[in-house]
Amino acid sequence: MVSPAYAERVEVAPSNESLVSSPPIQSDNGGKPASDVDSTLLKSLPIIGGLAKIRLSKQTKLTLKLAISILMFASLFLFGKVDLSKSWEVALRSDGWYLTAAVVLFLISYCLNAKRWQLLADAVGLHKSFSALLQYCYVGLFFNLFLPSTVGGDFSRGYYLSKGTGKYKSAFYSVLADRTVGIAVLFLFATIGILAGPAGHLPWKLKLPILLGTAGTFLILPFAPKLCHMVLGPDNRITRRFENSAAKVYWHDRKLILKALFLSVIFQLVIVLCHVTIGLALGLTTIPIWYYFVFYPCVAVLGFVTPSFNGIGIREWAYTYFLTFIGVDNSHALTYAMMWLALNTLSSLVGGVVYFAGHLQISKEEREEYEHVQEEDAETA
Tens digit of each residue's pLDDT (9 = 90 or more) over 210-228: 888 888 888 888 888 888 8
Q: What percent of the chain has pLDDT over 70?
A: 67
Poorest-pLDDT segment among 130-144, 229-243, 277-291: 229-243
- Segment 363-379 shows an average pLDDT of 56
Is 322 buried (19+), middle (13-18) or exposed (0-12) by CB count in 10 A?
buried
Q: Which residues, other chains included, contact 154 with Cβ-Cβ below 8 Å and sequence gap of 6+?
A: 140, 175, 176, 179
| DSSP one-letter code for 129 | -
Tally Cβ neighbours within 10 Å of residue 350: 17
Dist. CA 185–CA 220, nearest whole Å: 15
Q: Are 292 and 326 in contact (CB under 8 A)?
A: no
Tens digit of each residue's pLDDT (9 = 90 or more) over 14-33: 333 333 333 333 444 444 43
Please provide the DSSP assignment of 229-288 as one string.
Answer: HHHT-TTSHHHHHHHHSGGGHHHH-HHHHHHHHHHHHHHHHHHHHHHHHHHHHTT-TTS-
Continuous segment of H or E residues that includes residue 194: helix 168-196
- As a three-state string, the secondary structure of 355-374 is HHHCCCCCCHHHHHHHHHHH
Cα dist from 38 to 27, 237, 272, 380, whole Å: 11, 11, 43, 10
More confident residue, 155 or 58: 155
Q: pTM value? A: 0.73
pLDDT at 89: 86
| DSSP one-letter code for 84 | H
